Structure 1
């Protein structure tokens, strides 16, 4: 049994009042008595005073004071000694302790030394058979009491040695023969046994002796407030008093410790100090528990340790099985511990203060503690304790080595994360990784851990995924988990570190063919995102993707790469559809399916892309793949933006930001979300918001990725709108350099060439601008997506128009028509017109003019004063740009005698207008606003603006005011 020094917590050392600085909130230091008067102990003091007065008259008495540790037993005994001094009663006091509980007559020796100063403590007699000194000691103290009334005080009598306890019982039977009063204090932490109590059994014919037992109750809220009022110079806040009463549970010793801590830090008892109050109370309770543990036998400490580990799931049966009780049963042990104040009331024993539970386990080594946690956890598992309790036990246990432990930890981790406590889920999953598990399960746990830590520590999330790819396989069953870890790495953007690990996983002999194909697809998807991420000499080498893959994952990546290169739109669509087929959705990585969706978006197959994106989003959210969900929402925003729906694109971006905050993207991917947001804000005309979005992105190693190219394009568009042409041109050209370095030539992704041509200025004879426009037109026509073709040709048309034309927005280098047209489904007539226009060679400014003005002489063009000789000849001969064919003339307005339709409207062919342009122009001439026209025809506002711009140009007019006359109709009066 271990020996521990014992110090009382309910009898602090007396000290003089603190002499702190003026204005200090408290007038005592930690450990001092609040006042010589005890709070809410007035009845006990009054009774003691009366008993002492009767003692002077020859009436003996016996008083026992009981209470939990810290309730003020020792303080009351000290007060009784003070009252005895005032009453002229002689006092002899002793303090029993655990250390001297085996010393014969130890307590009696202390009393004898106090009765006879200078005599010292009497050592135990020598010899094999100790002498019984009970009669001798009784004679000594009774003789002294007859000479002067005597008060004997024994504190913590429960620790008195057996000889002294036997002597006290003998003396109690003889109290009536002399004016003697016996005052003892006993802690409820160790209730006395049947032979421990000091009973009054007077001898025959002896006078009756009064007996009293004081049970010290906890302080009330009023008592707590009184102690606080005595301790502080300023009144305590009522809320602080109520909180203090709850925190200390009415224990005076704990309250004194709290007051001392507040006084030491100069804190007032105010309502804004409740958090410090709770912390100070917990520390004081923990300190009291440690002192209580110091006087408990080892068997009871073992019981407390089992309770500390099991918590509220502890049962008497568990204590019997695990506490290693030798002389006590579980019921008796709990009975002995019931008065300590450490355990809460109820059928199941549990600590009321967590710090007390921690203190109970602090006295044993780490290995022994882990063993105890493991034994308790195994017992709890057999008795069907809920996962929450089992997981708490497993956190402190050694390796269990059973599958149930891992499953419990994973289930509880999922529950804690769903409840909004990810840090607890991380602890549980890391504990699960300590158990011996099969490789597939270990990879899944690492993926779960990566998902949990992603919002707070993205780098740690990537590290766990890389560890998952390095797990040595036992068989081919780990392949799908490797694919999952690889796609999460690629989706977040950590492609540089992912490539060699994906190659290693694919090269392992245990990898199944389907998993190897998926890993190969992810490898090349990462390679195209960050080209040259691995060195040519790195081993193992990954085989190239086939041109016509049969695996759906490889088909998705090949489709995406083909779309970026602008090669064979029909083949790209076929490969993308193969990757998104229903039969492939459950086996193909979501990241490669997103690549196929992006390819369909670039091919203007928005309906198919939308259906596939919805399916990917559902699966990503079900599997808790945040990175994949965020990437899917970015593709969704791209599709909405290409269709001229910036509001829907903004909604998708908001969802992406909620799912994957900006700091959670890898540096290579981080510029993407702010770039898309800036483009959306530019479409809305919010230049200030676009500036803020662009400012969010920082290089930080992102300069080499495709996301950085998007940011350069968005920043160039912003600078162009702000009139900063030089900086905008630099951004567009750098964007093009990054894209061309990866063989990304399709203008459907980013039309940087036409944007750079706009940034060069409105000069129509700028050879570099013409070359950029010609190249974009050629590539757009080679790809064949309607939106890419219309964007390229529309930009050319805006460049050839007169910048001084009325209606141009001030401060903008290009007319409003220079913006890309709304991405609405094109009719077959419109496609044919675009094809005829787009196949015309473009070799110079004269050819641009001839192409756009359909052979109209240069001298008759608005805003023109002259052209080159070749331009004039082209205008006079009416030669177009394609094989010398004459282009149809465009009249400035409908002349008299223009053929009309039976309904009275001009014939569209005679005006040079298409049917759609005529319908829009007719509604505009009738007085309808652009938005009303869009609603009437079920088209976008941008489409209306585009058709009106073309109608103005073909009719040779400058605005809506001349439209009705040009169409040969009278304007309608509007209110």
Structure 2
């Protein structure tokens, strides 16, 4: 910490009971030796000029006092003066102090208030002091010569040119924060006979770590620990004045210079600097205070011209005011003025009333805007300014907030957006700013983020606010606050000024939020909203229709088609991100993982670009679910961890936290880590909202965990409640959660348990109806390929039936075409407590059809089936048909099996008659 303070003369005696505060001269041996030599030479008639330079607090005044003491010990007469910025305009103020020290007075000085210079006064004063030096060697000491009034400075310059005429030592001290200009230097003159007056310039440097250690040892009467000494040298910048004040503060509190008091060291150093700056401020005149306040409000944009326009000093130039303030140690320099200690700016502004401070910030901002100051500095001024009522202020604040959000500084962005909302702005711009503010405050105050989004939806505006309303609703639904979002979205969607794309997007978000409700609402309690069409035209509604169809387990081909429509590049501009994420989830349930991950990548990229943390987090959660369904628990865990980094648990709505806990537990179960799954379930937040899809996931995960731990009754209760919640929302698809087979496993291994058999049969029927390969494989494995309730747990080996083996072959060789791919192979319909499939030892022979059924007209055959049947009638073998149609032999077998079933025949010999026509290829 750079510590610069104004010079103050320290007390000559320490306070009772405190450390020694008499200023010691540490690491100033060279300077003391020089003063001793000069005092001795002065007695021999050799004059000298010495300039001492140093920053405030480095001990210039103390060094001058020691030099005066050495001179007196050598028999030299001393006349000392202390210049100060308060008396800078007092004519001959320094000369008056020096003449008083040479009592009786050597010259009668004119009154200080007399502005008229007396002719010949400078020469008269020089002769008087030279005459006194010839009588007795004389040392003239002027401290803080940078504050000397102009007549006194001109006299010192004249005296310096005459030092060789008498044994006179002129010693001056100057602060380095106010360097001497060309007209302010005190120079000596070389004599004609070649003799010169010695001149010395002493530049004081901060104390080293060893010097700080010596000073601490003198103050506390005990050595400081090395680590404390090094830290003290760093935080005080080796400044003796600050170090003495810190030692005094330590003594008052009874602290010792040890490592365990390092936190007190930093706080004490900062407090000392603030106190010394505050003492300096109390003595400043109002005009200089105004200049300091202008610098404080302008901040990094402060220049001499800007300060002049804001402060408008009346009795002195801005340049002179800055030079005076630099001399106090408060500022760094007059060209680019800034506070050496940033907290001093707060002290300066704290002495103003709130109204005056806001007005000063407003003047500074208006001046800076005309001067084209960068947005960063201008926004800092606007934060403290009153309401300006200018559109440029809103633009600056929003641009700077966007920059902070892009650089991951949401707290600063939130402050700027909150200030922007105080300004008058167009309604559509207010809606957009509220949505931006919600995104900025989400990491720290998620409930406040929801409030801002709800306020954005409630703000009336024209059609220009449509995209902003959609964004607000999108963020609200993505975080999980669907209970409050749904009626507000319906209210906004009913506004007549909305364009058709925004209305469709809002309708989609409304129906998307339906499945997140804690309890299904009665139709009369719902806001008026057009029903969601089965075949919507708008991509946003297609996304939600795909998600709904996937939950219901209906028509996998249509589900995939709707989801791809919603994820098409052309739909990106009009489809909310949450709706596209739902479309990706529908593809996950349809086992179309390639398209799902491509869509998730696109949605995640858009969400991160739009700073939609909630959508990005939800997208990563869906990715974790997809990886889990793919059997990749490690990748699922990585995706879930990334989601929680982006959206920590406290940022989610309670309805979503249950889903996060459930996924983590299911990942542990997939890895066989039951204890960690139990711990994960136990860490579920107490405020996890019950109801909704997320709660169903948690119940399923808890049921599976309890089942793995052997608690069947409790597991069964959780799994059945999970099913109740899902069925209440028409989420019957076992691809989402296979709770039925898990509940059947929880009932036990009784082969005559009709309830378990019914659960397994229902899950198998729904899986066959849906037709996704993954859920089919899981369901067939759970049922063991037979109609009986084979209750499997992970790790249990069960013989595979012929239907199960044939199903796996079909899944490996056939395209993803829905239930028709595998349904014909599994013709046995399982009922509760009934199994009718043949055993594994009696597989059907090739080209053997199922039992005869009611024949179907050949027009019911699909085009692919008719082509395969035609080639078969022509006498081609299965492999030849496969080569002709560029498909696998297994696909030919499957098509022929379907043909036989539809036509009610038993094999190829009956095929030609059943087709009812001569063998030829169907076009």
Task: Give the TM interval when normalised to the shorter protein.
Answer: 0.7 to 0.9
The change in CA–CA distance for 1:781 and 1:552 in structure 2 (over 3 A counts) is same
The change in CA–CA distance for 1:249 and 1:327 in structure 2 (over 3 A counts) is farther
* Displacement after TM superposition at 1:736 (Å): 1.3
Q: Which of 504, 512, 528 is the aligned partner of 2:491?
A: 504
* Displacement after TM superposition at 1:756 (Å): 0.9
* Displacement after TM superposition at 1:816 (Å): 9.0
Separation (CA, whole Å) in 2 of partners of 1:299 and 1:553:
64
The change in CA–CA distance for 1:33 and 1:424 in structure 2 (over 3 A counts) is farther
Contact 2:6 2:330 in 1 (8 A): no
| Pairing 1:17-166 to 2, within 5 Å after superposition | 19=17, 27-28=19-20, 32-35=21-24, 37=25, 40=28, 43=31, 47=35, 51=39, 69-76=56-63, 78-79=65-66
Contact 2:518 2:689 in 1 (8 A): no
Equivalent residue, structure 2, for 1:324: 312
* Displacement after TM superposition at 1:760 (Å): 0.6
Equivalent residue, structure 1, for 2:657: 670
Deviations 1:746-766 (A, max 9, x none): 323222122111111111111
Contact 2:519 2:691 in 1 (8 A): no
Structure 1 residue 371 corresponds to structure 2 residue 359: yes
Separation (CA, whole Å) in 1 of partners of 2:566 and 2:185:
87
Contact 1:401 1:435 in 2 (8 A): yes
Structure 1 residue 10 corresponds to structure 2 residue 8: yes
Separation (CA, whole Å) in 1 of partners of 2:602 and 2:181:
74
Deviations 1:89-109 (A, max 9, x none): 999988777778999999999
Equivalent residue, structure 2, for 1:286: 274
Separation (CA, whole Å) in 2 of partners of 1:129 and 1:590:
78
The change in CA–CA distance for 1:881 and 1:678 in structure 2 (over 3 A counts) is farther
Equivalent residue, structure 2, for 1:688: 675
* Displacement after TM superposition at 1:706 (Å): 1.1
Q: Which of 698, 706, 712 is the aligned partner of 1:711?
A: 698
Equivalent residue, structure 1, for 2:909: none
| Pairing 1:530-545 to 2, within 5 Å after superposition | 530=517, 532=519, 541-545=528-532
The gaps in structure 1 that reach 5 residues or longer are: 1-6, 21-26, 117-123, 202-207, 857-879, 885-914, 916-936, 938-975
What's the secondary structure of 2:655's corresponding residue? Answer: coil
Equivalent residue, structure 2, for 1:444: 432
Separation (CA, whole Å) in 1 of partners of 2:594 and 2:52:
86
Deviations 1:169-201 (A, max 9, x none): 999999999999998877677889999999999
Deviations 1:204-235 (A, max 9, x none): xxxx9x99998662334264454344334454
Contact 2:52 2:204 in 1 (8 A): no
TM-score (norm 1): 0.70
Separation (CA, whole Å) in 2 of partners of 1:151 and 1:612:
87
Equivalent residue, structure 2, for 1:425: 413
Contact 2:434 2:453 in 1 (8 A): yes
How large is the RMSD of aligned CA atoms in angstroms? Answer: 5.5
| Pairing 1:671-820 to 2, within 5 Å after superposition | 671-797=658-784
* Displacement after TM superposition at 1:399 (Å): 3.6
Deviations 1:389-429 (A, max 9, x none): 33333333334444444444344334434444333333333
Separation (CA, whole Å) in 2 of partners of 1:398 and 1:771:
72
Indicate the larger mover: 84-93 or 403-412.
84-93
* Displacement after TM superposition at 1:248 (Å): 4.0
TM-score (norm 2): 0.73
* Displacement after TM superposition at 1:704 (Å): 1.3
* Displacement after TM superposition at 1:491 (Å): 1.3
The change in CA–CA distance for 1:59 and 1:702 in structure 2 (over 3 A counts) is same
Structure 1 residue 825 corresponds to structure 2 residue 811: yes
* Displacement after TM superposition at 1:672 (Å): 1.2
What's the secondary structure of 1:545's corresponding residue? Answer: coil
Q: Which of 549, 557, 566 is the aligned partner of 2:536?
A: 549
Contact 2:700 2:737 in 1 (8 A): yes
Contact 2:655 2:694 in 1 (8 A): yes
Indicate the larger mover: 632-641 or 516-525.
632-641
Separation (CA, whole Å) in 2 of partners of 1:421 and 1:615:
25
Contact 2:319 2:334 in 1 (8 A): no
- Residue correspondences, number: 828
Separation (CA, whole Å) in 2 of partners of 1:158 and 1:607:
77
Deviations 1:541-599 (A, max 9, x none): 43433444333322322332233233444554454444344443321112222323333
The change in CA–CA distance for 1:59 and 1:841 in structure 2 (over 3 A counts) is closer
The change in CA–CA distance for 1:179 and 1:316 in structure 2 (over 3 A counts) is closer
Deviations 1:810-849 (A, max 9, x none): x9888597999989935569967654645525142xx23x
* Displacement after TM superposition at 1:39 (Å): 5.1
Separation (CA, whole Å) in 2 of partners of 1:191 and 1:611:
66
The change in CA–CA distance for 1:702 and 1:825 in structure 2 (over 3 A counts) is farther
Contact 1:507 1:540 in 2 (8 A): no
Separation (CA, whole Å) in 2 of partners of 1:295 and 1:479:
58
Contact 2:519 2:692 in 1 (8 A): no
What's the secondary structure of 1:693's corresponding residue? Answer: helix
What's the secondary structure of 2:28's corresponding residue? Answer: coil
The change in CA–CA distance for 1:533 and 1:161 in structure 2 (over 3 A counts) is farther
Contact 1:633 1:652 in 2 (8 A): yes
Contact 2:50 2:202 in 1 (8 A): no
* Displacement after TM superposition at 1:634 (Å): 2.9
Separation (CA, whole Å) in 1 of partners of 2:692 and 2:271:
54
Contact 2:735 2:775 in 1 (8 A): yes
Equivalent residue, structure 2, for 1:862: none
Q: Which of 233, 238, 249 is the aligned partner of 1:261?
A: 249
Separation (CA, whole Å) in 1 of partners of 2:821 and 2:55:
97
Separation (CA, whole Å) in 2 of partners of 1:427 and 1:731:
46
Deviations 1:408-459 (A, max 9, x none): 4344334434444333333333333333332333333333333333333332
Indicate the larger mover: 824-833 or 645-654.
824-833
What's the secondary structure of 2:811's corresponding residue? Answer: coil
* Displacement after TM superposition at 1:142 (Å): 13
The change in CA–CA distance for 1:771 and 1:246 in structure 2 (over 3 A counts) is closer
The change in CA–CA distance for 1:668 and 1:76 in structure 2 (over 3 A counts) is same
Contact 1:717 1:728 in 2 (8 A): yes
* Displacement after TM superposition at 1:710 (Å): 0.9
Separation (CA, whole Å) in 1 of partners of 2:182 and 2:627:
86
What's the secondary structure of 2:242's corresponding residue? Answer: helix
Deviations 1:755-783 (A, max 9, x none): 11111111111122233233333444444
* Displacement after TM superposition at 1:725 (Å): 1.3
Contact 1:149 1:180 in 2 (8 A): yes
The change in CA–CA distance for 1:740 and 1:340 in structure 2 (over 3 A counts) is same
Separation (CA, whole Å) in 1 of partners of 2:15 and 2:812:
93
Q: Which of 376, 380, 404 is the aligned partner of 1:392?
A: 380
* Displacement after TM superposition at 1:729 (Å): 0.7
Separation (CA, whole Å) in 2 of partners of 1:105 and 1:398:
46
The gaps in structure 2 that reach 5 residues or longer are: 104-109, 190-194, 843-849, 855-877, 879-888, 890-923
The change in CA–CA distance for 1:189 and 1:62 in structure 2 (over 3 A counts) is same
Equivalent residue, structure 2, for 1:315: 303
Contact 2:787 2:831 in 1 (8 A): no
* Displacement after TM superposition at 1:48 (Å): 7.0
The change in CA–CA distance for 1:882 and 1:710 in structure 2 (over 3 A counts) is farther
Separation (CA, whole Å) in 2 of partners of 1:439 and 1:353:
42
Equivalent residue, structure 2, for 1:358: 346
Equivalent residue, structure 2, for 1:217: 204
Contact 1:84 1:90 in 2 (8 A): yes
Separation (CA, whole Å) in 1 of partners of 2:748 and 2:851:
24
Equivalent residue, structure 1, for 2:861: none
Separation (CA, whole Å) in 2 of partners of 1:194 and 1:812:
93
Separation (CA, whole Å) in 2 of partners of 1:195 and 1:625:
62
Indicate the larger mover: 824-833 or 780-789.
824-833
